[in-house]
Amino acid sequence: MYSEKVMDHFQNPRNVGEIEDASGVGTVGNAKCGDIMRMYLDIDENGVIRDCKFKTFGCGAAVATSSMATELVKGKTIQEALTVTNKAVMEALDGLPPVKVHCSLLAEEAIHAALWDYAQKNGIEIEGLSRPKSDISEGEEEEDY
């Protein structure tokens, strides 16, 4: 049911933890399943993501997708990080079962929320980033999976 990569990232998640004095922190949840995700970003003066960590109260698919998402955004610029969608994360993991696709949205939205927090703290606007939802199950029916 799960790819080897999903199992690997679930059993050995990368970048679990917190970043003290993070440049941006984002927390999102999914009210339907009750899962919560928090992302921490450390962004340098050139707008490059030096480090990224996450903590979750979420299911195995949420752990695996967040682990992969943190690996993908590390070393990227903010603009590049915005291209790390849940679809990109799922591709990097060789897919997820359809019922678990929504779990991958937690990671994407939490990264966006952390970038939003960074932008707010620094009084800047990030092109292409709109205010993230705090509950990703809102309007889920309209999502095109």
SS3 for 133?
A: coil
Per rule CB under 6 A, is residue 30 in the interface with ligand FES? Answer: yes
Q: How far is the CB of 99 from ligand FES (least distance, A)?
A: 9
Per rule CB under 6 A, is residue 26 in the interface with ligand FES? Answer: no
* Neighbour count for residue 18 (Cβ, 10 Å): 11
Per rule CB under 6 A, is residue 58 in the interface with ligand FES? Answer: yes
Cα–Cα distance between 68 and 22 in angstroms, integer?
20
Kindly tell me which residue out of 106, 107, 111, 114 binds ligand FES, with binding defined by CB under 6 A. 106
Closer CB to ligand FES, 101 or 126, in the complex: 101
* Catalytic one of 103, 111, 113, 115: 103
Q: Does residue 103 carry a catalytic annotation?
A: yes
Cα–Cα distance between 68 and 92 in angstroms, integer?
8
Quick one: angle between helices 101-122 and 60-73, nearest 10? Answer: 40
Per rule CB under 6 A, is residue 96 in the interface with ligand FES? Answer: no
Is-contact 84 68, C-beta < 8 A?
no
Q: Does residue 59 carry a catalytic annotation?
A: no
Looking at the annotation, which residues are catalytic? Answer: 33, 103
